[in-house]
């Protein structure tokens, strides 16, 4: 029997300049699912991820692990949900990779032994164990991408969210990233324009446009629906096209 992990009901968000970015988003994700979030530029993908991570607060209800997201409960929420930003340079800022991986667990109040355990586990998952003493700015883009994901995995979130994880990667780094993500045993929400990545990793896809989820279903059905995709400014995924 499936177990509900994330529940979003009637989520609205407006920017300070008056732009309405989210217009009543409803979304449910079961534990263990890997879900894609697709949509044209400006559709609300990144804003939704920011709201689900607690970096933005809108109107509506967001529940993670049955816990409603509120400003007063953000410390515990941030231990349950993690966001990987589109640019690794927004996530890596410490002198060494080990320091970056330790930052989250330390701020959750773990002791030294637990922090080291989290560092080792996250580095191993993302194939970075031999790079812990290196400065993040000396890493390749692919290594930086893996490192930014590892900083979130070190928190052991119930929900791992990623914003365009394959952007700016060369083909080899992209293939390696997909292989690593396939091996992870965690619930994921991936916002991406990379339809091949989505097709390989995600069994389910939600399409967002003008701040609303306009379609949600099996990935092949969504990405292969030419009328739906083109209506919302997207290209059909060739492997599903009939």
At 119-172, the pLDDT tens digits run 999 999 999 999 999 999 899 999 999 999 999 999 999 999 999 999 888 899
pLDDT of the residue at 2: 74
How confident is the model at residue 73, as a pLDDT?
A: 77
Query: Over the stretch 24-75, which tens digit does the pLDDT of each residue have?
Result: 999 999 999 999 999 999 999 999 999 999 999 999 999 998 899 988 877 7
For position 242, what pLDDT does the model report? 46
- Domain range annotation of the chain: 1-80+158-242, 89-156
Helix (H) / strand (E) element for 217: namely strand 212-218
Beta bridge partners of 162: 84, 190
The answer to whether 64 and 51 have CB atoms below 8 angstroms apart is no
Taken as a whole, the chain contains a residue count of 242
The model's pLDDT over 65-116, given as tens digits with 9 standing for 90+, comes to: 889 998 887 777 877 899 999 999 889 999 999 999 999 999 888 999 999 9
The CATH architecture to which 1-80+158-242 belongs is: 3-Layer(aba) Sandwich (3.40)
Inform me whether the pLDDT recorded for 240 exceeds 70: no
What is the b/e burial string over 106-143, where b = at least 16 CB atoms within 10 angstroms of the residue's CB?
A: bebebeeeebeebbeebbebbebeebbeeebeebeebb
**Residue 78: closest CA among 97, 103, 96:** 103
CB neighbourhood size of 67 (10 A): 13
Q: What is the pTM of this model?
A: 0.92
Of 117, 130, 5, 8, give the one whose Cα is nearest residue 58: 8
pLDDT higher than 70, residue 1: no
- Does the pLDDT of residue 238 top 80, yes or no? no
Secondary structure tally for the chain: helices H, strands E = 9, 10
CA distance 162 to 86: 7
Give the largest Cα separation in the chain, rounded: 55
- Looking at per-residue confidence, does 78 or 187 come out higher? 187
Mean pLDDT confidence for 10-29 = 95
Phi, psi of 187 (to 5 degrees): -75, 135
């Amino acid at each position: 029997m499936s177990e509900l992990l994330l529940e979003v009901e009637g989520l609205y968000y407006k920017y300070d300049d008056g732009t309405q970015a989210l217009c009543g988003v409803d979304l449910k994700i079961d534990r263990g699912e890997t879900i894609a979030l697709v949509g044209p530029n400006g559709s609300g993908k990144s804003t939704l991820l920011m709201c689900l991570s607690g970096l933005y607060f809108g109107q509506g209800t967001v529940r993670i692990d049955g816990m409603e997201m509120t400003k007063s409960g953000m410390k515990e929420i941030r231990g349950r949900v993690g966001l990987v930003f589109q640019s690794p340079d927004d996530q890596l800022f410490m002198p060494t990779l080990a320091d970056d991986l330790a930052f989250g667990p330390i701020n959750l109040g773990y002791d030294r032994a637990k922090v080291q355990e989290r560092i080792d586990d996250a580095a191993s998952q993302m194939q970075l164990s031999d790079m812990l003493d290196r400065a993040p700015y000396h890493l390749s883009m692919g290594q930086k991408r893996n490192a930014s994901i590892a900083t979130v995995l070190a928190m052991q979130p119930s929900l791992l969210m990623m914003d365009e994880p394959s952007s700016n990667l060369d083909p080899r780094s992209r293939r390696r990233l997909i292989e690593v993500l396939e091996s992870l045993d965690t619930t994921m929400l991936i916002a991406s324009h990379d339809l091949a990545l989505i097709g390989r990793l995600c069994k389910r896809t939600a399409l967002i446009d003008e701040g609303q989820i306009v379609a949600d279903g099996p990935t092949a059905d969504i990405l292969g629906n030419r009328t739906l995709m083109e209506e919302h400014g997207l290209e059909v995924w060739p492997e599903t096209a009939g």
